[in-house]
Amino acid sequence: MSEPLSPDRVFDFLVDEPEPHPAYNFFALGPLPGYAGNPNNNNGWIKADMPLLGELGFVANEPMVGPIEDEIAEPIVEVEEQVIAPVVDMDEDIAMLFGDDDFKDEDSEGFDEEEEVGGPSTVVAEGQCFPFPSRGHPTPLSMIEDLSTRLGNLEYGHEQLVYKVMVSQMVHAADRFEHIGTQVEHGQQTVTLGDEVITSLTQQVQALQAAVQQRDTHIQQLQTMVLEMSSREITLMRCIIGIDRRLTDMERRPSRPQ
């Protein structure tokens, strides 16, 4: 009992099962058999047909979250394409989320602890929880924690991308409202100018009407003068005719002897 345990030692506990638990093949991309209905599945949001994230035996800097990354990135890209021309560069955001600084553990000196378990795990890990492999596939706890950190970063990145899309939509809507407000203001200025032009034209029409009235008055005055001159001509003609008659009468009278 006082002898220290070797990290390479594998314990084979007796399991009261009629048949040995089937071993999971973590080297093949595919859904975990019976994982979705497992009562120990603490990740209720993971679907039953979600593929594995890659070989868990790879080192920490290997791409292990490709399928989930694609599943999260695709709807965001569709939203960006439908709402506005590329709001953010997805590649740069993913590179920022999965940069070397995000996954470096300065306090970690390697995979010192290994654990070999048989069947589904009942241990609740900190943060996101993942199923442990079956007997014969030892999984470092630090790798599981690193994978949890990566998924947490993915969720955070997804929230940030959604936030950026929402902010972009709000900015676009604000720009549209500002553009519409500018158009309305220009329309109001145009209407004001139109009113001023109409007022000026109305004044000109009124001035023309006054001039026409003055001309009508002058015409009436001229007509009155013509009538007066006509009556005077008639009177003058009568006088001339009367004088002519008198002269004729005087010529017809016999002259008196001198």
Q: Is 51 domain-assigned?
A: yes
pLDDT average, residue stretch 108-114: 45
Q: Is 129 domain-assigned?
A: yes
The partner residues of 139 in beta bridges, in order of sequence, read 115
The pLDDT of residue 62: 46
CB burial of 168-205 (b: ≥16 within 10 Å; e: otherwise) equals: beeeeeeeeeeeeeeeeeeeeeeeeeeeeeeeeeeeee
Q: Is the pLDDT of residue 103 over 60?
A: no
Q: Token pair for residue 39?
A: 């009562």
Q: Is 38 domain-assigned?
A: yes
The pLDDT of residue 114: 45
The pLDDT of residue 43: 52
Range of the domain at 6: 1-178
pLDDT average, residue stretch 74-96: 53
The pLDDT of residue 45: 47
The pLDDT of residue 146: 85
Contacts of 136 (CB under 8 A, 6+ apart): 23, 116
Q: Count the domains in the chain.
A: 1
Longest dimension (CA), the chain: 201
Q: Is 193 domain-assigned?
A: no
pTM of the model: 0.30
Q: Is the pLDDT of residue 151 over 80?
A: yes
pLDDT in tens, 2-58: 555 555 555 554 545 455 545 555 555 555 555 555 555 555 444 444 444 444 444
pLDDT average, residue stretch 172-180: 92
Contacts of 100 (CB under 8 A, 6+ apart): 61
Q: Is 17 domain-assigned?
A: yes
The pLDDT of residue 140: 77
The pLDDT of residue 251: 82
Q: Is 191 domain-assigned?
A: no
pLDDT in tens, 234-246: 999 999 998 988 8
- How high is the mean pLDDT of the chain? 68
Q: Is the pLDDT of residue 125 over 50?
A: no
pLDDT average, residue stretch 121-131: 45
Q: Is 63 domain-assigned?
A: yes
The pLDDT of residue 42: 53
